């Protein structure tokens, strides 16, 4: 019985890794659609989000079953509760990729953002994709150095996000109200994607160390 329980715990980890991989793929495709106004690719992202949702539901049901039937304690309990919370963050990251794809669908055949912000969104997306890929590595290896790297990438996202608002608020900004709203939303979606990635990383850190606070360099 104990062996089967440990296999179930291992499977929870594998499921989290699978969801994280799909989330990274979703953001990769969503940004490509965003950059190129590729509505077909955007539709793929929107449709594929159902799979992420279903995997999250399956994981959560299994985790609740283990809590109810196995009475886990100590590290095993932390792992199951952590898996429940991480799956929620990962599912939300998938939703945010879908939201970006939905902006593409809404504005097609036009691009969502003007040329002046193209480089900023490329950097936002690039950092988000790095976070997603490092989450997969972190879930597989529990290498806590990756937690620090994810935090650093998210700090860059936060600065870029703030820069978008500075650009939009400037007197030189002459875009329409619709474009302004789209640019604001897109930047927010990328920023929240990074925040949820940090949330997952913090939970892995807690599973490994038993501590929530992640030490940062002075």
Q: How confident is the model at residue 212 (pLDDT cuts 50, 70, 90)?
A: confident
Interaxial angle between packed helices 177-209 and 2-36, expressed in degrees from 0 to 180 and rounded to the nearest 10 = 160
Q: By the 8 A CB rule, do 104 and 39 touch?
A: yes
The CA-atom distances, in angstroms, between 65 and each of 10, 77, 99 are: 15, 12, 32
Q: By the 8 A CB rule, do 20 and 132 touch?
A: yes
Other C-beta atoms within 10 Å of 2: how many? 7
Average pLDDT over residues 102-123: 97
Identify the H or E element spanning 184: helix 177-209
Q: What is the pLDDT of residue 69?
A: 79
Average pLDDT over residues 156-177: 96
Place of tokens 């290498």: 143
Instruction: Classify 38 as helix, strand or coil.
Output: coil
Higher pLDDT, 98 or 208: 98
Interaxial angle between packed helices 2-36 and 118-141, expressed in degrees from 0 to 180 and rounded to the nearest 10 = 170
The CATH label, of 1.20.120.330, 3.40.50.880, 1.20.58.220, 3.40.50.720, for the domain at 2-209 is: 1.20.58.220
In degrees and rounded to multiples of 5, residue 83 shows phi and psi of -60, -40
Q: What is the pLDDT of residue 218?
A: 38
Q: What is the pLDDT of residue 216?
A: 58
Condensed to tens digits (0 to 9), the pLDDT of residues 34-91 reads: 999 999 999 999 999 999 999 999 999 999 988 887 777 777 888 888 999 999 999 9
The CA-atom distances, in angstroms, between 212 and each of 147, 153, 197, 203 are: 12, 19, 15, 7
Q: Retrieve residue 45's tokens.
A: 């992202």
H-only helix segments in 71-171: 74-107, 118-141, 145-169
| Burial category of 23 from C-beta neighbours within 10 Å (exposed 0-12, middle 13-18, buried 19 and up) | buried
Domain residue ranges of the chain, discontinuous segments joined by +: 2-209
Minimum mean pLDDT range among 6-20, 65-79, 103-117, 155-169: 65-79
Rounded Cα–Cα distance for residues 59 and 12 (Å): 7
Q: Retrieve residue 194's tokens.
A: 């990074």
């Amino acid at each position: 019985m104990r062996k089967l329980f440990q296999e179930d715990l291992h499977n929870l980890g594998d499921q989290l890794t699978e969801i994280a991989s799909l989330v990274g793929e979703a953001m990769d495709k969503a940004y490509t659609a965003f950059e190129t106004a590729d509505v077909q690719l955007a539709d793929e992202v929107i449709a594929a989000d159902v799979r992420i949702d279903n995997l999250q539901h399956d994981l959560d049901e299994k985790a609740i079953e283990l809590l109810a039937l196995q009475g886990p304690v100590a590290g095993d309990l932390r792992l199951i509760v952590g898996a429940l919370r991480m799956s929620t963050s990962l599912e939300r990251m998938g939703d945010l990729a879908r939201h970006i794809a939905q902006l593409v669908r809404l504005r097609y055949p036009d691009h969502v953002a003007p040329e002046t912000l193209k480089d900023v969104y490329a950097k936002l997306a690039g950092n988000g994709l790095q976070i997603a890929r490092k989450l997969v590595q972190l879930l597989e290896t529990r290498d806590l150095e990756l937690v620090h790297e994810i935090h650093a990438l998210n700090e860059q996202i936060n600065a870029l996000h703030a820069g978008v608002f500075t650009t939009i608020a400037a007197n030189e900004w002459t875009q329409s109200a619709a474009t302004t709203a789209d640019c604001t939303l897109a930047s927010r979606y990328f920023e929240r994607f990074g925040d949820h990635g940090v949330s997952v990383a913090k939970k892995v850190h807690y599973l490994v160390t038993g501590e929530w606070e992640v030490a940062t360099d002075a």
